[in-house]
Amino acid sequence: MLSPQSHPLIEATLPLVGERMPAIATGFYSRMFAAHPDLFDGLFSRSNQKSGVQQQALAGSIAAFAAHLVKDPTSAPEIMLSRIAHKHVSLGILPEQYDVVYRYLFESIAAELSDVITAEIAAAWTEVYWLMAHALIKQEKGLYAAAASDKPLAPWTVTRKEPAGSDAVTFTLVPSDDTPASASRPGQYVGVTVRMPDGIRQVRQYSLSAGTDTGTRVFTVKLDNDGEVSPVLHRDVQVGDQLTLSNPCGDITLDAGDGPLVLASAGIGCTPLASILRSLVETGSERTVLVMHAESTIERWALREQMRADVATLQTAELELWLEEPGAQESARPGFMSLDAVSIPDDASVYLCGPLPFMRAMRAQALASGIPAARIHYEVFGPDLWLASA
Q: Catalytic positions, please?
A: 98, 140
How many distinct helices (H) and strands (E) make up the chain?
10, 12
DSSP character at residue 181 = P
DSSP character at residue 388 = T
DSSP string, 341-370: T----TT-EEEEES-HHHHHHHHHHHHHTT
CA 149 – CA 241 distance, rounded (Å): 23
β-sheet bridge partners, residue 160: 172
List Cβ neighbours of 113 (8 Å cut-off, separation of 6 or more): 16, 17, 20, 24, 121
What number of CA atoms fall less than 13 Å from residue 183's CA on the CB side? Answer: 6
Helix axes 97-112, 7-35, angle to 10 degrees: 110
Helix axes 97-112, 119-146, angle to 10 degrees: 150
CA 270 – CA 291 distance, rounded (Å): 10
CA nearest to 243, candidates 153, 117, 147, 359 = 153
Find the helix or strand (DSSP H, E) in which 250 lies. Answer: none
